[in-house]
Structure 1
């Protein structure tokens, strides 16, 4: 198996475990078992659980950035595009947190932040300066 494929196999397994049982309850041993790789193979790619988590977050940030930019540069007014971009970002986070029972506490907090941020964006047209 190619190096990139093996790395993605490990990250995919780690994501599933973290979403299912939470970060604290996920061990390197469990990740190796879920990915169906030997522990030395796992450690070849990631020195510890924090490194695995950082790689997952990095991939998530790239995905969120791509969604944000697509919405920001899409159709709509100068006011509607940023609102759509923020909405796309928060909807992606909503979907992710919705897959994880251990994330219920984070979800509640995230929803409060999302509502507050989106409420700051006026949804009416801007008037040109005179």
Structure 2
């Protein structure tokens, strides 16, 4: 079982410590689980297939063009000499994530869940 701690869980941490569960222990388990899933996705080639699906869906829905326009706007506002790639990433990432259509998110999540179900061990 994986437990994710947030700032809202801080008041429960002493109780967890008494129960033998530590946030560090839980976070290490979560990190190991993520690493294991990523390794399996990579080994089977599913990671590349998911990336290609995402790339195609984002291009198909116009997301890629919207992001290009967003980057051009930032460069125009700040001036080419005053913008780094890091600046662009910081500026456009929140909007980029918000612009990903729910249907694309759902399809990817469904594919990941199916993969996990098929490869559960």
Whether TM-score is above 0.5 comes out as no
Which structure ranks higher in relative contact order (CA pairs < 8 Å, sequence separation ≥ 6)? Answer: 1
* TM-score normalized by the length of structure 1: 0.30
Larger Rg: 2
Q: TM-score, normalised by structure 2?
A: 0.32
